[in-house]
Amino acid sequence: MLNQVLAQATEFDVQVAEAWSKSLMLGIALGLAALGLAIVGLNYMKALGRNPEAGKAASQIVIIAAMIEVTALLAFLLGAFLL
């Protein structure tokens, strides 16, 4: 009977550890993706303030932002579904 109690406690501990690791991975990945988007946006606005003609090259900034978002999406899918 004591072995069953210990086995259940160990299984619960493993589930808790998995949940913590998933939430930590998702928090770090999505938080850093948001920070990356903020830095890209900040620097784009600074450059646009210095040189208003740079607004014509906005498609490059959109592509960079999309790459950051894809990285965040892949981290989310890996953490939420695969682990």
Q: 0.85 cut: is pTM over it?
A: no
pLDDT for 74: 87
Count of alpha carbons within 13 angstroms of residue 15, beta-carbon side: 6
Q: What is the CA radius of gyration of the chain?
A: 21
Q: Where does 2-82 sit in CATH, by number?
A: 1.20.20
DSSP 80: I
pLDDT by residue (tens digit) across 31-75? 999 999 999 989 988 988 898 887 777 788 888 889 988 988 888
Backbone phi and psi for residue 36, each to the nearest 5 degrees, phi listed first: -65, -40
More reliable by pLDDT, 42 or 8: 42
Mean pLDDT calculated for residue range 71-83: 80
Count of alpha carbons within 13 angstroms of residue 82, beta-carbon side: 9
More reliable by pLDDT, 79 or 26: 26
Domain assignments of the chain as residue spans, ordered by start: 2-82
